[in-house]
Amino acid sequence: MHSEIKIRIKDLSEQIKEVTKESHVRAENTELMLSFQRGQVTLPQYKLLLCSLYEIYRALEEEMDRNSNHPAVAPIYFPAELARIKSIEKDLEYFYGPDWREKIVVPAATQRYSHRLRQIGKENPEFLVAHAYTRYLGDLSGGQVLGRIAQKSMGLKSGEGLSFFAFPGVSSPNLFKQLYRSRMNSVELTAEERNGVLEEAVRAFEFNIQVFDGLQKMLSVAGNEQRQSSTDSKAVHGKTLQIPGTFSPMLRMILGLFVALAAVVGLYAL
């Protein structure tokens, strides 16, 4: 007599956690996360981060809104509880002023990330599940702790410039995460769609890592320019370093930030 063998299919949330394990570790070891962990995040770092978060969340939330009735998106659509774009806009206005839209700068990697979100929103809306899960639950999990670290590191008054970390619509993060995972695990997907979502989850982490690395490379280039200019200025007494007006807005900004960044944590990724 053969004994019955029951095969349990893993929940989607469990599978995402497994397939992104390596990428998660790599993301945590970027300069941005290490700065947070050391309690050494600087204001320039945080402002640059907000700029990229704005572009990423704008794309994500516009596509989530547009596909809110899609069978894979509807169960995890919680705009009142999770939407970040208004909070990020509030923080950007605090740091950059009312004309903040004219001042924000992002690396090419951020633009690629945003483009991917808009692409899948049109072609494969079910893939939005992977990006929403990795972004929202990641921010919800670490938001309060990272918010306190950022506040202390940058000497900000309570709540000022830190709206991104606050989720006023979520009274209990742990209970909400349980609800979110339950809703996500209830989404009906074909085997092909499930595999696509898992691949997209890995891609989501890779996009974040690329964003961090993209700014690190830009800072490295800017640092070389700054060091060369410093060397040249030593040979010509009485002259001060000028940032050429022909440089791009991003490069002019990075050049201006480099000395402060290098003094605290060295070259920084996002």
Rounded-to-integer distance, Cα 41 and Cα 43, Å:
7
Closest-CA residue to 118 (of 63, 161, 162, 188): 63
Tell me if 183 is assigned to a ligand binding site: no
Rounded-to-integer distance, Cα 69 and Cα 215, Å:
36
Closest-CA residue to 221 (of 191, 258, 195): 258
Q: Which residues contact 24 (CB under 8 A, 6 or more apart)?
A: 205
Q: What is the distance of C-alpha 163 from the center of its chain?
A: 15
DSSP-assigned letters across all residues of 146-195: HHHHHHHHHTPPTTTT-GGG--TT-S-HHHHHHHHHHHHHT----HHHHH
Give the CB-side neighbour count of residue 119, counting CA atoms within 13 A. Answer: 7
Tell me if 103 is assigned to a ligand binding site: no
Q: Which residues contact 264 (CB under 8 A, 6 or more apart)?
A: 40, 42
In this structure, are residues 205 and 22 in contact, taking their beta carbons and an 8 Å threshold? no
Tell me if 203 is assigned to a ligand binding site: no
**What type of residue is 59?**
A
**Which single residue is written with the structure tokens 């394990």?**
21
Rounded-to-integer distance, Cα 36 and Cα 147, Å:
9
Tell me if 90 is assigned to a ligand binding site: no
Binding site members for heme b: 17, 24, 133, 181
Binding site members: 17, 24, 133, 181
